[in-house]
Amino acid sequence: MTESDFGNIAIRPAVEEDFDFVVELMDSALSPYYGGDHRAHAERIFKTHISGGVDQLGFFSREQKMFVATVNNQPAGMIHVVGKRQCTYKISPLIVAETYRNTRGLGTLLLDHAEKYARDAKARQIYCTVAENNSSALGFFRAKGYIPAGKSASHYKTNITEVMLYKHFVDSDFESRFDRVNISVVPLGPSHEKQVRDLLLENLPPFFDGIDDDWVNSLFGGYERRDSQDINLKYKLIYVAVNRDNTVLGVAGATPKKGEPIKVMPFLATTLPAFVALLSDIPFLLKDFGRKLYIHIAPTSSETLALQQRGWNLDAVLPEAYHLGIVTEQWSSDLDNPNFMRQMRIKKTFLDLIRKGEKTLEVRVGYNNIRSITDGELIRLTTFHENQVIKVNQVRKYDSFAAMMEEEDFDRIAPGRSEEDVFSLLKDIYPPEKESLGVIVLDISPQRI
């Protein structure tokens, strides 16, 4: 139980005495958005919970659990979750009584409780659906990190579109494996060409017919025409995702088109961190060349997650457009959006420290795109599955890590680590040729957006 300005707040499993409260709450909150008999539905799920949580009529359902939030021992909100045979949990529904909404954080407490319950049961993900015109609930779930997977028109009620949302649980092992590699996205250089050719010829043919040396030659030919910036010459911009040793792990080739969309083909990465690096970085790198980006790929499930988490839209599903037996999808990213901002990838441990206000300096090297960061800019920091907007209060530039360490407080770069540790951490990420581009220090603070 927590004591707050609003009284004692607690979350507990629903008990017999909650019956009337739950039926009333579900009936009043759900009727505007959904057809059907909400009282009968409430009665059914309540009784299932009270009698042990096993739904005798359920098909995929393995267990049902209902929790109630109380304020000074009075019921004030509820969440009902359904555990599925597929190791997922469905929230159905989450409701806070109207008088308690938006003030006491009850919705947050109930949701956190249900997520912990699902994680403890080793669920892979938790999901829900929300009517599109229920903007407060939709805003609430988005603010809690739920990702829209898509929408369905006239689904539970005629003329009401239902948005499907999910939160994927990523274990800390995955996160640390993902963060172990440092990937940079840089313009294609002569030293990458042979690797890019091999990468494309080896990995694209199972998904795209017509990939051969000539095709790669015409890709590189378009890149040679890049300075023309003439769309009629079909010039191309090519970026590669490289690791610390300059090994190419991914490539994105962009062709700006008439009407200002940019087709990104190829878009290929051989590792998930490289895929995510390209996906996160190319919108900002290409933003001056068009209004939107689109790619044609046949993504894996992790790649689909990464696309959805970064707000890319699924435009079209193209069976056998490029290869017999392969479904290619068109995904796009809007560059014209007023909320568009630069994304910067960061390791989860550092993101957590930034959120707590403990890490207030971010150090990078002077790639052209980093050099373009300005005082006051808002940037979205991203890990594999989280993001946080920060404000750059000031940009400071140095010739080397040693010069930077003389001026800056190392504890603001990597709190809790020694000066030597911070120094070797930076040296580890950036080899000397990258350090020689110059060292850029961003003085940052987290924003609530």
Ligand X SMILES: CC(C)(COP(=O)(O)OP(=O)(O)OC[C@H]1O[C@@H](n2cnc3c(N)ncnc32)[C@H](O)[C@@H]1OP(=O)(O)O)[C@@H](O)C(=O)NCCC(=O)NCCS
Which positions touch ligand X (CB under 6 A)? 29, 91, 93-96, 101-102, 105-108, 128, 130, 134-137, 139-140, 143
Least distance to ligand X, CB of residue 100, Å = 6
Least distance to ligand X, CB of residue 391, Å = 18
Q: Which is nearer to ligand X, 107 or 253 (CB)?
A: 107
Least distance to ligand X, CB of residue 448, Å = 7
Q: Which is nearer to ligand X, 165 or 335 (CB)?
A: 165
Using the structure block, give the residue that is written with the tokens 């250089």: 189
Q: Which is nearer to ligand X, 150 or 189 (CB)?
A: 150
Q: Which is nearer to ligand X, 140 or 289 (CB)?
A: 140
Q: Which is nearer to ligand X, 15 or 143 (CB)?
A: 143
- The residues, ordered by sequence, that sit 6+ positions from 382 with a Cβ below 8 Å of its Cβ are 280, 310, 343, 344, 345, 346
Least distance to ligand X, CB of residue 42, Å = 13
Q: Which is nearer to ligand X, 78 or 285 (CB)?
A: 78
Least distance to ligand X, CB of residue 69, Å = 8
**C-alpha–C-alpha distance, residues 165 and 145, integer Å:** 10
CB of 307 closer than 8 Å to CB of 323: no
Q: Which is nearer to ligand X, 14 or 297 (CB)?
A: 14
Q: Which is nearer to ligand X, 42 or 199 (CB)?
A: 42
Least distance to ligand X, CB of residue 88, Å = 16
The Cα-based distances of 104 to 109, 135, 240, 342, 392 in angstroms read 9, 19, 48, 34, 32
Least distance to ligand X, CB of residue 305, Å = 22
Least distance to ligand X, CB of residue 97, Å = 8
